[in-house]
Each structure stands twice: as C-alpha cells, then as structure tokens.
C-alpha cells in the first residue's frame, strides 16, 4: 500500500516539476526540488537495489533450476533410453521365453506322440505276437488233433448226411421199376441166389421192393469192383499208363499216399524224440490226401486247351454199368431211360468218393461192413422194415446198403455208427 502511494506521489511530483519552466523556478524551489528528488530517490534506490539483488538471486535460482531442469531432462532421457532398452530386452526375453515354451511344448507334444506311437506299436506288435502264437498253437493243435472242423465236409455229421443222400440217389437210379420197365426175373433171381437170399421172384406176382433192394446192392458192389481194379494196379504199371495221361492220377495218388504213410510211420518209429507232431504226421498226410481225393477225385479233366473232358474211368464205367443194369431191368420209355442214365456218372463218382476216399479221412479210419445172410437183426447196427414186436425173431435175409462205422479208438470194441446197414428182414419160427 505505501509503495503504491509513494510511487504515485513520485509520479505526480515529477509531473508537476516537469511542468515548471527553469526560468521561472526560484532558487528555493530548485533546492526544494533537489531535496524532494533526493528524498524520493533514496527509498527507491534502496528498493531498486533490493530488487536487483532479488533479481540476481532469482536469476541464479533460475539458472540453477535451468541446470537442474536440463540435468533432469538428461536423466529423463537416459531413463527413457534405459526404459526402452529394458523394454526391448523384456520383449526379447519374453519372445525367447515364449519360443522356448512353444518349443518345449512342441518337444513335449512330440515326445508324448512318440511315446503314444511307441506304445501303440508295442501293443500292435504284442497283439501280432499273440496272434502268431495263437496261430502257432492252433497249428500245433491242428497238427496233433485229428478231429475235423464243423465246416469240413468230411466231419462225421456231413459225411453221414452225404451217405444218406447217396442211398436216396441209388433208389432213384434203380427206380420204382414201374411203369414201362421190363424186369428179367430170371436174372434177378440169380442175384438173390448169389447173395444167399431165400427170396424168389415170380413173374405173376413181382415183389418190387425186394427187387429194388437187390439191385441197389448189385449197383454198389459192381462199382466197388470197378474201382478196386483201377486202384490195385502196381506203381510201375501206373507210371507207364500215366505218361501224358491224367486219367490215372487218382490211382497214382493213392499209391503214393500209401508209400508216404509207410515212410512216415517208419520215420516216427526210428527217430528219437518225444514230440506229438511227428507221430501225427502219417495220419495228417492220410487225412489231407483222401480229403482232396474225396473232393475232386474223378472230376472232369482239364485238357491243354483248358477245356473240361469227362474222366475216362467215368466215361467207360457209366456205360458199362448201364448195360449191366439193362440185363435186369429194361426201360420201355426212352425219355425215362435217358433221364435215369444221366445220373450214372454222379452215382459212380459219389460211391467211390465216399467208400474209398472220404472214409479214410476219419480217425480211426471208418469202415463199411456187409451184414451176412441169416445174421440176427441188431437195431443198433441195422435198419429194416419190421415192427418192434418182431425184432426178437428177426434175421437178415439181404443186406442192401452196408453198415458204415468206426471204432471209438484202436483198442475199443465200441462202434461209432455213421449210418446203420439197410437190410431185408426174414423171420424164423
């Protein structure tokens, strides 16, 4: 407040003073003026000096602040640079860490995948080894067992069914003997006599069932005779006939099978060892060979042009059998004759396959037996037309179809019957 007043007074004084002309100033006025100026200047000069001091102090302070500011700016810049460097380093370290983590995860993933792959491969290898071991055990079991599988056509059930089918085929081939069929009763009676039967056929009252029975027996035994002659030839004879001729392969195959069977038995008996496989070899060889013969034996033969021709044995003996059957029953109907005689080849082939090949696939070998005339009727081994009350005095007059059986084992008298013998029954008083 005082400062403002003094400044204002000073200004007003200067202004008044300036308005005076020097010529008009009185001496006292000049003196008064000088005193006034001096009085006015002293406090201002003092204050001005203080202001200058303050100014200088502030200037120094400002310079110091400026220096401090510049220093702080430098420090700030250095800190900024350090921050940027640290940030860059942090980002670099972060990127490296992320890369390491990713790489580590990838490595771990690959390790896990490889581990899982190795585990799966080991599991698969283990499964394959188990399968191989199972196959080996199975093969070893098959090598040591002689039981035929359910899908094998030579298993006992299928063989039995095929035997029954053959019986039906024989009945069809022999026919019902009527109508338009002439029967030579004289020739038929000779057959009954050959088989020791007491039956005598009369021309006035023909016994058709008995004639059918004896003709079925005749067909079977005739075919048996054909095939025995064919198979019983010596190896040397077969080798001569077999040159460029495949019609004797079945006979040669059977002969070689016998030789192999003999060699296998001798090998088993003369070589030291305790395994079960070697002793099974003769049986397995026999089963396999006769299974093949029972499947394809006497089938049509492929020639060099890959065309199928009827086996010479079948061609020769079907005509021969038909002619021999004509001497007992003669067709008066050409169409019926043609129909029946077309079945002859299949009859011959199936009889041979079952009786001479497929029975030998069984272990022990299955056999057939013709029941003799006058043998007491045994319902466990035979079947025939009679009532249960008549069994006690029933005897066999004629065996139509043989008993087919095998022993339960080599040392047993118990029989496993495939099909019982079909017989004609007679009664004794």
Give the pLDDT score at 183. Answer: 96
Give the pLDDT score at 305. Answer: 86
Shortest CA distance to 370 belongs to which of 217, 232, 207, 241?
217
pTM over cut 0.85: no
Which residues, given as ranges, of the chain have pLDDT below 50? 1-6, 9-11, 17, 21-23, 25, 140
Pair 171, 216: CB distance under 8 Å: yes
Give the pLDDT score at 303. Answer: 85
What Cα–Cα distance (Å) separates residue 165 from each residue in 76, 161, 172, 346, 347? 114, 6, 11, 12, 11
pLDDT in tens, 179-195: 999 999 999 999 999 99
**Does 121 fall in a domain?**
no
**Does 131 fall in a domain?**
no
What Cα–Cα distance (Å) separates residue 346 from each residue in 52, 55, 75, 154? 149, 144, 117, 18
**Does 139 fall in a domain?**
no
CA distance 229 to 222: 11
Domain span at residue 60 reads 2-116
Residues 205 and 352 in one domain: yes
**Does 143 fall in a domain?**
no
Residues 299 and 381 in one domain: no
Structural domains counted in the chain: 3
CA distance 63 to 57: 10
H/E run at residue 96: helix 27-144
CA distance 35 to 120: 120
pLDDT in tens, 75-95: 878 888 877 888 888 788 778
Pair 400, 428: CB distance under 8 Å: no
Pair 423, 396: CB distance under 8 Å: yes
Residues 177 and 324 in one domain: yes
Pairing of strands 421-427, 382-383: parallel
Chosen domain end from 334, 357, 380: 357
Residues 370 and 348 in one domain: no
Helix axis angle for 312-326 and 208-231, nearest 10°, is 150
How far, rounded to the nearest angstrom, does the alpha carbon of residue 394 sit from its chain's CA centroid? Answer: 57
């Amino acid at each position: 407040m005082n400062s403002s007043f003094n400044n204002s007074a000073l200004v007003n004084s200067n202004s008044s003073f300036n308005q005076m002309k020097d010529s008009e100033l009185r001496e006292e006025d000049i003196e008064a003026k000088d005193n006034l100026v001096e009085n006015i200047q002293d406090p201002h000069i003092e204050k001005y000096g203080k202001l200058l001091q303050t100014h200088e102090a502030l200037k120094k302070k400002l310079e110091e602040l400026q220096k401090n500011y510049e220093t702080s700016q430098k420090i700030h810049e250095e800190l900024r640079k350090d921050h940027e460097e640290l940030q860059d380093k942090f980002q670099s370290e972060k990127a490296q860490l992320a890369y390491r983590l990713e790489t580590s995860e990838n490595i771990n993933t690959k390790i896990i995948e490889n581990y899982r792959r190795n585990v799966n491969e080991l599991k698969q290898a283990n499964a394959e080894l188990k399968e191989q071991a199972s196959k080996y055990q199975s093969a070893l079991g098959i090598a040591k067992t002689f039981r035929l599988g359910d899908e094998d056509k030579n298993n006992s059930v299928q063989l039995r069914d095929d035997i029954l089918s053959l019986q039906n085929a024989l009945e069809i081939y022999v026919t019902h003997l009527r109508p338009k069929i002439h029967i030579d009763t004289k020739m038929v009676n000779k057959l009954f006599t050959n088989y020791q039967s007491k039956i005598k056929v009369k021309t006035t009252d023909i016994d058709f069932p008995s004639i059918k029975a004896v003709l079925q027996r005749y067909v079977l035994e005739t075919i048996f005779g054909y095939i025995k002659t064919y198979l019983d030839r010596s190896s040397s004879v077969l080798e001569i006939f077999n040159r460029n001729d495949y019609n004797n392969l079945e006979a040669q195959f059977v002969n070689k099978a016998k030789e192999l069977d003999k060699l296998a038995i001798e090998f088993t008996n003369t070589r030291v060892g305790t395994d079960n496989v070697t002793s099974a070899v003769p049986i397995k060889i026999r089963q396999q060979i006769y299974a093949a013969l029972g499947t394809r034996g006497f089938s049509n033969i492929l020639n060099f042009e890959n065309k199928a021709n009827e086996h010479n044995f079948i061609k020769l003996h079907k005509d021969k059998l038909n002619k021999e059957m004509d001497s007992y029953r003669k067709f008066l109907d050409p169409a019926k004759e043609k129909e029946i005689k077309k079945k002859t080849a299949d009859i011959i082939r199936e009889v041979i396959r079952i009786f001479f090949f497929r029975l030998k696939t069984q272990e022990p070998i299955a056999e057939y037996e013709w029941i003799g005339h006058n043998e007491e009727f045994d319902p466990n081994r035979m079947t025939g037309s009679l009532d249960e009350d008549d069994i006690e005095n029933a005897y066999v007059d004629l065996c139509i179809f043989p008993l087919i059986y095998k022993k339960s084992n080599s040392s047993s008298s118990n029989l496993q019957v495939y099909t019982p013998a079909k017989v004609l029954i007679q009664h004794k008083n």
